Amino acid sequence: MMMKSLIHNARPQLRGTIGLGVKVEGEKFPRMTDYFVVDHLPEIVRHYGKQPTALHIQFPVNDPGRVAPSGFKAWSGQRRDAKGNIVDGVLKCAGDGSYKDEFDVVIPGEAEWMDRNSLPPEDEIIGERNPETGKVRRTCYGTTCVDYKAGNCKRNMQMYVVLPLISRYYIYRIDTSARKSIESVVLRLNQTFMQGGDITQQVYEIYRKPTTVQRWNEKEKKMIKDLKPLMFMRELDTQDFMQLNGEAYSKAGLILGPKSLAKALPSPEEQKHAPSPDLYPTEPPAIEVVARTPGGDTPESLVDHPDLRLAFDEYGRLCLGHELSAKDRLILIKKKEGSPNLKEEVRITLLKRIEEKKAQLATQLKPPPQGEVKADLSDIT
């Protein structure tokens, strides 16, 4: 026998953060991975493995703005306190972005400027600085803002989710600043919510997928294409999910009410100021990292290079129908040997072939061929 108050008044807790990247010494921002980083969460590792590429989730409360708040944030970098300890960055500005109306006129949003040591441009200030909090209201232009263009501001979304096959008493947080990932989650949640559905009753799957994105190359002063492992979300058939995972679902604990789950979530103000490591640069390492010269890469060193792994995998899957062996990758790389920047030349070539194959498949009615075929690398010149 147990006291009912201990059973029915059980309180969930914010268990930890599921990562989308890992910190690498010498790099300002975490390096994105093609799997969810959960090695610090043993309960997830036991069920999904050390490097899962997909997770089943549910949302704790029926409020998209509470379980997946998104916006634009500008942070200061990591710094050292008076005792010499590294502390997280400080939120300087947070806003909701802008949009275009039916006449294609940009309608700015609103932001809070929290930096006591400076002010935003005078024409963007709305009202006076609050003497108690030091905050200043300003217009927010999102991606057209000078701070965003300068790299001082980024998109951000925090997801607060429950893993129904792990425990209903644990809430996990996931941060991302990737536009396509944010759109995938927010648009799907709002669609369900606006149609009168309850997002807490729906089971979703989040998964990592190599995706072609465009980014600005400051050195070359132009937009370039790159392959990044982004996170996407899709709905699952809840009944089928329950039938297939009934035992694990029942072991995850009692179904908690929305009030008790809501209490475990940070307040909107806490969510706003919650540190997001992928949004601000980490402190430079004490020992200077000597970078390789552009032409210092050898074909052998690039065969298993992490910056080329996704491009190799996608090229093999899409263009050849099978995974490239180490020997095949070396042959392909050696065809570009002698280039001033070997790694970048190989990466651009792979992405070009991938885009060409995607365009070709889009014009065909039949699906791409499947099965094991011999690698034909003759088209890489």
pLDDT tens profile 329-338: 888 888 887 7
Residue 52, pLDDT score: 93
- Residue 216's CB is within 10 A of a number of other CB atoms, namely 11
User: Same structural domain for residues 307 and 269?
Assistant: no
Residue 4 lies in a domain: no
User: Same structural domain for residues 125 and 161?
Assistant: yes
The residue among 284 and 100 whose pLDDT is bigger is 100
Residue 286, pLDDT score: 33
Which range scores top for mean pLDDT: 6-15, 18-27, 276-285?
18-27
Bridge partners (DSSP) listed for residue 207: 54, 232
Q: pLDDT category, 5, cuts 50, 70, 90?
A: low
d(CA 63, CA 58): 12
Residue 371 lies in a domain: no
User: Same structural domain for residues 225 and 146?
Assistant: yes
Bridge partners (DSSP) listed for residue 134: none
Residue 124, pLDDT score: 83
d(CA 135, CA 114): 5
Which residue, among 254, 250, 208, has the nearest Cα to 230 in the 3D structure?
208
Crossing angle for the helix pair 342-362 and 326-334, nearest 10 degrees? 110
Residue 47 lies in a domain: yes
Residue 380, pLDDT score: 56
d(CA 298, CA 242): 51
User: Same structural domain for residues 334 and 253?
Assistant: no
From 256, 273, 290, give the residue that closes a domain: 273
Residue 230 lies in a domain: yes
Q: pLDDT category, 205, cuts 50, 70, 90?
A: very high
Residue 270, pLDDT score: 73
The residue among 86 and 292 whose pLDDT is bigger is 86
User: Same structural domain for residues 213 and 312?
Assistant: no
User: Same structural domain for residues 204 and 80?
Assistant: yes
Q: Tens digit of pLDDT for each residue in 120-139?
A: 878 888 878 888 878 899 88
Contact in structure between 341 and 308 (CB atoms under 8 Å): no
Q: Provide the percentage of residues in the chain whose pLDDT is more than 70.
A: 77
285: pLDDT strictly greater than 80: no
Task: End-to-end CA distance of the chain: give it in Å, rounded.
Answer: 75
User: Same structural domain for residues 262 and 350?
Assistant: no
Residue 289 lies in a domain: no
Residue 83, pLDDT score: 64
Residue 68 lies in a domain: yes
Q: Tens digit of pLDDT for each residue in 145-191?
A: 888 887 778 888 999 999 988 887 889 999 998 889 999 999 889 88
Residue 280, pLDDT score: 43
User: Same structural domain for residues 171 and 29?
Assistant: yes
Residue 185, pLDDT score: 93
- In the chain, the number of structural domains is 2
Bridge partners (DSSP) listed for residue 56: 205
- Residue 147 CA, chain-centre distance (Å), reads 21
The residue among 291 and 368 whose pLDDT is bigger is 368
Residue 254, pLDDT score: 55
Q: pLDDT category, 368, cuts 50, 70, 90?
A: low
Q: pLDDT category, 91, cuts 50, 70, 90?
A: confident
Out of 89-93, 135-139, 287-291, least confident range: 287-291
Contacts of 6 (CB under 8 A, 6+ apart): none
Report the 3 state secondary structure along 211-277: EEEEEEECCCCEEEEEEEEEEEEEECCHHHHHHHCHHHHHHCCCCCCHHHHHHHCCCHHHHHHCCCC
C-alpha R_g of the chain: 24
Q: Show the DSSP H helices in the chain as ranges.
A: 4-8, 42-48, 64-67, 146-149, 179-194, 238-244, 246-251, 258-264, 268-273, 299-302, 306-315, 326-334, 342-362
User: Same structural domain for residues 207 and 318?
Assistant: no
Q: pLDDT category, 79, cuts 50, 70, 90?
A: low
User: Same structural domain for residues 251 and 326?
Assistant: no
d(CA 114, CA 134): 6
Contact in structure between 203 and 58 (CB atoms under 8 Å): yes
Q: Provide the percentage of residues in the chain whose pLDDT is more than 90.
A: 14
User: Same structural domain for residues 254 and 332?
Assistant: no
Residue 182, pLDDT score: 92
How distant, in Å, are the alpha carbons of 43, 96, 301 from that of 175?
A: 20, 17, 32
How distant, in Å, are the alpha carbons of 69, 214, 223 from that of 186?
A: 9, 21, 26
Range of the domain at 121: 12-273
User: Same structural domain for residues 129 and 205?
Assistant: yes
Residue 311 lies in a domain: yes
Residue 6 lies in a domain: no
Contacts of 73 (CB under 8 A, 6+ apart): 91, 93, 94, 153, 154, 156, 272, 276, 279
